[in-house]
Amino acid sequence: MVDVGEKPTTAREAIARGRITLSKLALAQVRSGAVKKGDPLQAARLAGIMGAKQTSLLIPLCHPLNLSGIDVELMPTPRGYDIEARVRTTAQTGVEMEALTAVAVAALTVYDMVKAVDKRMTIGPIRLMKKTGGKSGTFVR
Amino acid sequence: MVDVGEKPTTAREAIARGRITLSKLALAQVRSGAVKKGDPLQAARLAGIMGAKQTSLLIPLCHPLNLSGIDVELMPTPRGYDIEARVRTTAQTGVEMEALTAVAVAALTVYDMVKAVDKRMTIGPIRLMKKTGGKSGTFVR
Amino acid sequence: MVDVGEKPTTAREAIARGRITLSKLALAQVRSGAVKKGDPLQAARLAGIMGAKQTSLLIPLCHPLNLSGIDVELMPTPRGYDIEARVRTTAQTGVEMEALTAVAVAALTVYDMVKAVDKRMTIGPIRLMKKTGGKSGTFVR
Amino acid sequence: MVDVGEKPTTAREAIARGRITLSKLALAQVRSGAVKKGDPLQAARLAGIMGAKQTSLLIPLCHPLNLSGIDVELMPTPRGYDIEARVRTTAQTGVEMEALTAVAVAALTVYDMVKAVDKRMTIGPIRLMKKTGGKSGTFVR
Amino acid sequence: MVDVGEKPTTAREAIARGRITLSKLALAQVRSGAVKKGDPLQAARLAGIMGAKQTSLLIPLCHPLNLSGIDVELMPTPRGYDIEARVRTTAQTGVEMEALTAVAVAALTVYDMVKAVDKRMTIGPIRLMKKTGGKSGTFVR
Amino acid sequence: MVDVGEKPTTAREAIARGRITLSKLALAQVRSGAVKKGDPLQAARLAGIMGAKQTSLLIPLCHPLNLSGIDVELMPTPRGYDIEARVRTTAQTGVEMEALTAVAVAALTVYDMVKAVDKRMTIGPIRLMKKTGGKSGTFVR
């Protein structure tokens, strides 16, 4: 977790999750470190974090926000990867769009790194898992 | 199609498609024009086009490209919308990432516009449908 | 108004206004929905909102700010459109540049959508109408 | 003129012009070099050039382009400054939006630098003066 | 100093410094105002300020922040220029990366403006000089 | 090398190199994989590549370019890392600024990842090593 250490009493957090499904061949290449462009998981994690920071430049009605923590993780599944993003802010706005954007950009980055061997990858479902803080109360899927 | 009129002999094109699934309530609001923030479909179309242009700023190893045409369309389905993006270039690089990014950003924009009434929307599957031009030949899903 | 719901006691707000003047032919096309590229007013409204968020990337000495509300409206006049932008923040800096930038980008977007039928459109005057909150007190034009 | 030296046979060029009108007090400060934030004309010139490069990120349906030359000049008038931007490209798309955007951003930058002493400045009219190259032939206002 | 006037009790500040070394010929051109592209020092100062604002878009794990003051100065040395950037924020995160980025971008801008006459310029050392406020206490080099 | 495969007869290439010097403690942490924020070298490589793509948004008079290849490598030295960036284009403009920017952003990223244990790191010298193609002929340092 990229964490700046403050302990705000009014923090908001959102967790989003998504999935990318790969062919067996592509998956074998990722897992054996054979992808020519570099490590897709490491690239996806960083791209997801950077993507979260660009959310307000991508989504027309999203507010620019100070974010106090962004975390993106990729977890292996039998047919690909689950991607989870957690985003926190002390601002007075929810951060579900930042979390969803992080997941989407991370998944797109895996696609980009692996597309030379597999053009049939599918991304999704991407969805909000949890949202805490804020006026509308806690949401848990 | 945003089209600048040239007729290149070496054009490349990519078509990607995705889906966003909404609750009945949310879908009714979108279809009756009752979404407070404005028309989600119009916003999604424009955000998708603008998102395609930011692809190289989002995906670490994507090249910055001149794009000669970007089209994003949302088509109603029983439970939400299918989103299709077509991107063309005369550059010597494929544009599948631009098409996939356009679809993802358009879907995220629908989510953002509608999330006040439905936090359970799901995005995906997002996938490449077709790719023409380029060294690796034509790909059709 | 894109509004996140907080009721800050120290909110600052700025309102800017501008104008775009079109030929009769162009105006008729906009009003009859005949513009090939799509609805210029809807595109201008969204582009203005997104432009406000990019102000600090455009204007060298403008501070990056959290914005809590951005609203852009286009109102028909006999010879074109009046464009009004209202921007609010809880930060300790005025937002007149964000409001003026929103108006300018909205006007440029109308120009772009309509330029195939009219290259003689004029943009302006763009000016600040009102500014409230902040050390320098309220300004009303 | 920022010029990279190539002599393309198919260059396109656009020239846009705009105006910013200042109070006598503000104008005196600009002309005597008394503006605290720095030289507004120099800042406006650079911001206009940088703004032209961001056009496709601001205007929804504008194509990202390679630009081969951007020039922004501010010329004193009795009540302020005339701003002229010239933009050139070898790409197969017109650059009038880049020229108009450069003018708008330059004018907004002057406003920002001077607003501490004058909030009544007006920007405009901004308009296209000339466009050469391209399918639609030469346009001169 | 671009200063918005607030007097926060919890301000953080960082000061970074760097250097660019030029050939005698290049230095003479800069000092005599003979650089064709314009004044490198003025351009570097503005580019450094704008670069600081883009830090979170450049450095993967840097948080987007509201900045309350950015100052970039270039001081002549016998063989080039010392560049100093001071950045302040009221946010709960340090701004040393913003100060270092401002110095780097300012130095790169001098290089760009002068490279037609000198390709052997060297940039560096760039380093943090001072950091105040924040949990980790004051750092002075 | 991120390589799109074309073999242009008019390619231009630039190679820049820089250095970051760390304390023994910091260097030990990097080399043992103990840096909390993740792998600085992997992050620096990706950030350098992405930074090269943002060059025209950072350096006022740099042209936006299609880049056909960007490579960033970090090589261990006794006291830190040497960073080398190679950038290629088929456009009619040199890419030394892109290579230098890639090096600077990669070095800044290492600094950011490691600054919790070492604030005394120094960046530089950064310099152009080689430039081929283009009107001005080959430059080798």
Give chain D's end-to-end CA distance (angstroms, integer). Answer: 22
Cβ–Cβ contact B56 with F under 8 A: yes
- Asked if D56 and D89 touch (Cβ cutoff 8 Å), the reply is no
Give chain E positions within 8 Å (CB) of C57.
Answer: 50, 53-54
- Asked if D51 and C62 touch (Cβ cutoff 8 Å), the reply is no
Of the residues A71, A82, A112, A118, only one is catalytic, namely A112
**Dihedral class, residue B88 (left if φ above 0, else alpha if ψ from -120 to 50, else beta):** beta
In sequence order, what E strands does D58-103 have?
69-77, 80-89
Q: In the predicted model, is pLDDT for residue C2 greater than 90?
A: no
Q: In the predicted model, is pLDDT for residue A100 greater than 80?
A: yes
Please tell me the distance from the alpha carbon of residue B75 to that of residue D26, in angstroms, as a whole number. Answer: 54
Cβ–Cβ contact E58 with F under 8 A: yes
Structure tokens at D76: 């004193």
Q: C5: pLDDT confidence band, cut at 50, 70 and 90?
A: very low
Give chain C positions within 8 Å (CB) of E64.
Answer: 64
> 3-class SS at A105?
helix
CB contact under 8 A, F61 and D4: no
Q: In the predicted model, is pLDDT for residue C1 greater than 90?
A: no
Q: B3: pLDDT confidence band, cut at 50, 70 and 90?
A: very low
Chain E: closest CA distance from residue F127 (Å): 5
Please tell me the distance from the alpha carbon of residue C67 to that of residue C50, in angstroms, as a whole number. Answer: 11
Q: In the predicted model, is pLDDT for residue E56 greater than 90?
A: yes
> 3-class SS at B62?
coil
CB contact under 8 A, D92 and B53: no
Q: In the predicted model, is pLDDT for residue A53 greater than 70?
A: yes
Q: C73: pLDDT confidence band, cut at 50, 70 and 90?
A: very high
Give the residue from chain A lying closest to E67, CA to CA: A66
Q: What is the pLDDT of residue D134?
A: 78
pLDDT (tens digit per residue) in C57-66: 999 999 888 8
Give chain B positions within 8 Å (CB) of A130.
Answer: none
Backbone angles phi, psi at C128, to 5 degrees: -80, 130
Question: Is residue C58 within a helix (H) or strand (E), and if so which, with residue range?
Answer: helix C55-58
State the average pLDDT over residues C109-134. Answer: 96
Instruction: Provide the pairing of β-strand A80-89 with A12-21.
Output: antiparallel
Q: In the predicted model, is pLDDT for residue E54 greater than 50?
A: yes
What are the residues whose beta carbons fall under 8 Å from the beta carbon of F36, sequence distance 6 or more? F116
Q: Report chain A's C-alpha Rg in angstroms.
A: 16
Average confidence score pLDDT of chain A: 91
Backbone angles phi, psi at E53, to 5 degrees: -75, -15
Question: Is residue F41 within a helix (H) or strand (E), and if so which, with residue range?
Answer: helix F40-53
State the average pLDDT over residues F78-92. Answer: 94
- Asked if A50 and A104 touch (Cβ cutoff 8 Å), the reply is no
State the average pLDDT over residues A8-21. Answer: 87
CB contact under 8 A, B39 and C43: no
State the average pLDDT over residues C57-82. Answer: 94
**Of E62, A119, D74, D26, nearest in space to B141 by CA:** A119
CB contact under 8 A, A61 and B111: no
- Asked if D65 and D92 touch (Cβ cutoff 8 Å), the reply is no
**Of B96, B139, B135, B130, nearest in space to B10 by CA:** B135
For chains D and F, count residue pairs whose Cβ atoms are closer than 8 Å.
30
pLDDT (tens digit per residue) in A123-137: 999 999 999 987 778
Please tell me the distance from the alpha carbon of residue A34 to that of residue B32, in angstroms, as a whole number. Answer: 51
Q: Report chain E's C-alpha Rg in angstroms.
A: 16
Cβ–Cβ contact D50 with E under 8 A: yes
Q: What is the pLDDT of residue B4?
A: 42
Q: Which CATH class is domain D12-132?
A: alpha beta
Q: In the predicted model, is pLDDT for residue C6 greater than 70?
A: no
**Of C103, C111, C107, nearest in space to C128 by CA:** C103
Give chain C positions within 8 Å (CB) of D128.
Answer: 119-121
Q: In the predicted model, is pLDDT for residue B136 greater than 80?
A: no
pLDDT (tens digit per residue) in C12-58: 999 999 999 999 999 999 999 999 999 999 999 999 999 999 999 99
Please tell me the distance from the alpha carbon of residue E139 to that of residue F120, in angstroms, as a whole number. Answer: 10
For chains A and C, count residue pairs whose Cβ atoms are closer than 8 Å.
31
Backbone angles phi, psi at D67, to 5 degrees: -105, 140
CB contact under 8 A, D58 and C38: no
Q: What is the pLDDT of residue A137?
A: 82
Q: In the predicted model, is pLDDT for residue B42 greater than 90?
A: yes
Q: D19: pLDDT confidence band, cut at 50, 70 and 90?
A: very high
Q: What is the pLDDT of residue B93?
A: 84
Q: What is the pLDDT of residue A70?
A: 95
Instruction: Provide the pairing of β-strand F12-21 with B122-123.
Output: unpaired
Cβ–Cβ contact F74 with A under 8 A: no
Please tell me the distance from the alpha carbon of residue F122 to that of residue F88, in angstroms, as a whole number. Answer: 28
Backbone angles phi, psi at E93, to 5 degrees: -145, 145
Q: In the predicted model, is pLDDT for residue F133 greater than 50?
A: yes
Q: D92: pLDDT confidence band, cut at 50, 70 and 90?
A: confident
Q: In the predicted model, is pLDDT for residue D83 greater than 60?
A: yes
CATH 3.30.70.640 fits E2-133, yes or no: yes
- Asked if C131 and D129 touch (Cβ cutoff 8 Å), the reply is no
Cβ–Cβ contact E91 with A under 8 A: yes
Give the residue from chain C lying closest to E87, CA to CA: C63
Cβ–Cβ contact C93 with E under 8 A: yes
Inter-axis angle of helices A96-114 and B96-114, nearest 10: 160
| DSSP per-residue letters across A9-58 | TT-EEEEEEEEEE--HHHHHHHHTT--TT--HHHHHHHHHHHHHHTHHHH
Percent of the residues in chain F that have a pLDDT greater than 70, as a whole number: 93
Q: In the predicted model, is pLDDT for residue F125 greater than 90?
A: yes
Report in angstroms the alpha-carbon separations of F86 from D62, F12, F131: 30, 11, 10
Give the residue from chain E lying closest to A54, CA to CA: E57
Give chain C positions within 8 Å (CB) of B42.
Answer: 38-39, 42, 46
Q: In the predicted model, is pLDDT for residue A8 greater than 50?
A: no
pLDDT (tens digit per residue) in A15-50: 999 999 999 999 999 999 999 999 999 999 999 999
Please tell me the distance from the alpha carbon of residue E68 to that of residue B126, in angstroms, as a whole number. Answer: 41
Taken in order A19, A21, A26, A32, the sign of the CA dihedral is positive
Tell me, which fold does domain A2-132 have in CATH?
Alpha-Beta Plaits (3.30.70)
What are the residues whose beta carbons fall under 8 Å from the beta carbon of F118, sequence distance 6 or more? F22, F23, F25, F26
pLDDT (tens digit per residue) in A69-98: 999 999 999 999 999 999 999 888 889 999
Bond from prior residue into D125 cis (ω within 30 degrees of 0): yes
C112 has catalytic annotation: yes
Percent of the residues in chain E that have a pLDDT greater than 90, as a whole number: 79
Which amino acid makes up residue C60? P
Instruction: State pTM to two decimals.
Output: 0.93
CB contact under 8 A, A64 and C68: no
Give chain C positions within 8 Å (CB) of D108.
Answer: 58-59, 97, 100-101, 104
Q: In the predicted model, is pLDDT for residue E7 greater than 60?
A: no
Provide the 8-state DSSP code for C62.
P
Q: What is the pLDDT of residue E65?
A: 83
Chain F: closest CA distance from residue E11 (Å): 19
Structure tokens at D110: 């002057």
Question: Is residue A87 within a helix (H) or strand (E), and if so which, with residue range?
Answer: strand A80-89
Give chain B positions within 8 Å (CB) of A127.
Answer: 120-123
Q: What is the pLDDT of residue D3?
A: 45
Please tell me the distance from the alpha carbon of residue D54 to that of residue D97, in angstroms, as a whole number. Answer: 11
Token match 């990722």: residue?
A30
Give chain A positions within 8 Å (CB) of E135.
Answer: 5
Q: F8: pLDDT confidence band, cut at 50, 70 and 90?
A: very low
Please tell me the distance from the alpha carbon of residue A63 to that of residue C88, in angstroms, as a whole number. Answer: 11
Question: Domain boundaries in chain A?
Answer: 2-132
Report CA E70 to chain centroid distance, whole Å. 9
State the average pLDDT over residues F39-50. Answer: 97
Cβ–Cβ contact A92 with C under 8 A: yes
Of the residues B39, B71, B112, B118, only one is catalytic, namely B112
Please tell me the distance from the alpha carbon of residue D1 to that of residue C14, in angstroms, as a whole number. Answer: 36
- Asked if D123 and D108 touch (Cβ cutoff 8 Å), the reply is yes
Q: What is the pLDDT of residue F136?
A: 75
Tell me the CATH number for domain C2-131: 3.30.70.640
State the average pLDDT over residues F41-45. Answer: 97
Structure tokens at C86: 């209202």
**Dihedral class, residue D124 (left if φ above 0, else alpha if ψ from -120 to 50, else beta):** left
State the average pLDDT over residues F76-92. Answer: 94
Cβ–Cβ contact D92 with B under 8 A: yes
Question: Is residue B104 within a helix (H) or strand (E), and if so which, with residue range?
Answer: helix B96-114
Percent of the residues in chain D that have a pLDDT greater than 90, as a whole number: 79
Please tell me the distance from the alpha carbon of residue E108 to that of residue F140, in angstroms, as a whole number. Answer: 19
Q: What is the pLDDT of residue A134?
A: 78
Strand-pairing partners, residue D122, are D21
Instruction: Choose the weakest-confidence range: A1-15, E14-28, F54-68.
Output: A1-15
State the average pLDDT over residues E117-136. Answer: 93
Cβ–Cβ contact E38 with D under 8 A: yes
Cβ–Cβ contact C106 with A under 8 A: no
Tell me, which fold does domain F12-133 have in CATH?
Alpha-Beta Plaits (3.30.70)
Please tell me the distance from the alpha carbon of residue B43 to that of residue E93, in angstroms, as a whole number. Answer: 34
- Asked if F37 and F22 touch (Cβ cutoff 8 Å), the reply is no
Cβ–Cβ contact B90 with A under 8 A: no
Instruction: Provide the pairing of β-strand C12-21 with C80-89.
Output: antiparallel
